[in-house]
Structure 1
């Protein structure tokens, strides 16, 4: 222990570890920071220890995913070739603003849990300490968490009785940012389906035998739908449910059930449905706008791409080149590898012409 008394020395120092007061040693050298070697060793071990997650860390991660999904929806709405209904951008912006406010509240509380002071937070946020304490109080954070947990559904059941036919295995684990983007793409596709149907939200919900508030939350990416809900909404809007199958699986981290060597008709339908789903999620841009972005498209491929985006069946879709398929996926803000996998399956399923032995004489 360092000397703790001196007749005529300087003011005592405070140990940052135990909080006790002590005086520096009479001998020269660098003044000690801690009152004893035990406190110094304990502080060293604490610095080397792996920081434990706070009570707010998990909630902060969930809110961050919601912010990413809503920001993706706002970005897609801003890049539409045709204006959206007047209230939709406002609704999306308000939902994003609410998530950002909640994120800041929980982020401040987590920073305090990790040892930050109000002075540290005031250096980052342009406000006084008293104002910050009132705005980001523990009571405010508790209210935010209660409200979000009340709105949040339970963990989605991926293998319910209704979904057994469409989900068979888990896809490789995706990052939180990627998962949020995929869920945002599914919500965007459903939202644009609603717009193109011309039906009021309540009428669409009635036809789908779902509550209007539930459908609204699906379109706003506040809830993650089961396949049964997606199928009902698609049928209510006179759309083929298969167009959403790939988007639904990507959002839920599963892979669709399909045979190793599907017939040509099934492979063609799966490829075209994936393209139509990406087209919906991208805001249904005009075919000419998509072609302008597909720089590798040959002139003879333009009618195929146009038909693929505007009609139901394109039997010659397998004639598209690999680089054109990749460019098409990028133009629709999709994953080129994901669409290429469908294209590869289609290539292997194309029936090959056969020649009888009698043709050789």
Structure 2
């Protein structure tokens, strides 16, 4: 709770600076002096706090098997690094005495692109990230760590999407090669290990627990060992939103 409040306070200070709120007003809202505000929310100090928050959010890499689904990283765990990077860059930019346009000019990036970097809409290359950091006289080493974590999180989300597509292709292929049995037939052939509604869900590309997927694959003549790594990676990521067909 205390950590979340601290991050919220950092974000509010960043937003206030982005809105060009006078320093005295920000300090008064926090109940501190302007000198204390400058020290506690200095760009380098904030970057270190964000780096610590990033470590707490992502934690050490752990290899969990399919039966440990409850320990899989959530969507917020893969989104947090990118959010923290954007916050850190924003604090660097708004913590200087220069305008955003001046920083963009010094860093050699388009002002609109810099704005998207700070909002988290764009994941900049390290070259551009470093130029912005140096233009603000920020801590390059800390920002580099945040940038690398954000890129790793992006790759994790992309891998999850590819795994889902491959898994659905495998399941549909097995279903087709087995003669397209109905969900009721699959339930009967699996001796009840795959219920009819679960079979229907899988054929509609809705993920189910590993024991169900394993039984589904085996019932249709496939290899659960082949499907397991695909399921494990797909299960780590949130399902994409399904678009309702237009009327």
TM-score, shorter chain, exceeding 0.5:
no
Larger Rg: 1
TM range (shorter): 0.3 to 0.5
Could you say which structure has the higher helix fraction? 2
TM-score, length of structure 1 as denominator length: 0.32
